[in-house]
């Protein structure tokens, strides 16, 4: 079976279930934390795929990695279902699929801002530029620094890219000079 199909199906089912229980935002936050934890600690993915690790240990690891508490019954039900159906090794892909579904349903865009130096006062100006582009949609920001940009910034909104960096301007100028 297609590895993308399984995570999407479970993510859709989880989203519907979380909406019914009124905890879709909480599940979103838990799965966002879980996917970040699994990205930072790739060993977690190996543990989830290991058949020799007891299911209870996997459930505790996922609860800890996501920050789920005792009152997060929807998350606990979700993990129990994955364990019961032997799909626990797909938990990261399911989490990522759920994040996509939730963002589309709630009109949330991922905005990645890369600058040559860390931002201080200019952050608000960039937020204003991004918000004009997004209109009434909301955004989740992530920031990176890349001294190779020399100056300026690069903004990625989902799959669109606005490159206003000095290095890009120099590259464009170089192409113009070479083409003449």
What's the pLDDT tens digit per position in 43-95? 999 999 999 999 999 999 999 999 998 889 999 999 999 999 999 999 999 99
Q: What percent of the chain has pLDDT over 70?
A: 98
Predicted pLDDT at 1: 41
Q: Which residue has the higher pLDDT, 158 or 85?
A: 85
- Give mean pLDDT, residues 21-35: 96
> Distance between CA 4 and CA 15 in Å, rounded?
16
Predicted pLDDT at 161: 87
Q: Please, which pLDDT band fits residue 3 given cuts at 50, 70 and 90?
A: low
> E-assigned strands of 56-169?
108-115, 138-145, 152-157, 160-165
138-145 and 108-115: which strand pairing?
Answer: parallel
Residue 27 CB coordination number (10 Å):
24
Given a cut of 60, whether residue 133 has pLDDT beyond it is yes
Describe the strand order of the beta sheet including 160-165 as a list of residue ranges: 138-145, 108-115, 152-157, 160-165
Inter-residue contact 131 to 139 (CB < 8 Å): yes
Inter-residue contact 139 to 109 (CB < 8 Å): yes
> Distance between CA 51 and CA 136 in Å, rounded?
46
Given a cut of 70, whether residue 2 has pLDDT beyond it is no
Q: How far is CA 124 from CA 13, 32, 47, 139, in A?
A: 38, 25, 41, 13
Q: pTM for the complete prediction?
A: 0.83
């Amino acid at each position: 079976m297609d590895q993308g199909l399984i995570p999407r199906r479970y993510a859709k089912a989880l989203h519907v279930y979380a909406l019914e229980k009124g905890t879709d935002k909480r599940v979103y936050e838990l799965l966002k934390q879980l996917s970040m934890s699994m990205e930072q600690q790739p060993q977690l993915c190996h543990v989830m795929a290991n058949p020799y690790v007891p299911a209870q240990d996997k459930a505790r690891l996922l609860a800890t990695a996501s920050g789920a508490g005792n009152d997060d019954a929807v998350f606990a039900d979700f993990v129990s279902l994955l364990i019961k159906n032997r799909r626990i090794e797909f938990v990261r892909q399911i989490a990522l699929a759920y994040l996509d579904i939730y963002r589309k349903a709630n009109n949330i865009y991922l905005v990645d801002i890369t600058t040559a130096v860390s931002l201080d006062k200019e952050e608000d100006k960039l937020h204003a530029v991004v918000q004009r582009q997004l209109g009434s949609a909301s955004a989740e920001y992530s920031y990176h620094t890349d001294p190779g940009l020399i100056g300026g910034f690069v903004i990625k909104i989902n799959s669109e890219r606005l490159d206003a960096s000095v290095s890009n301007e120099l590259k464009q100028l170089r192409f113009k000079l070479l083409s003449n």
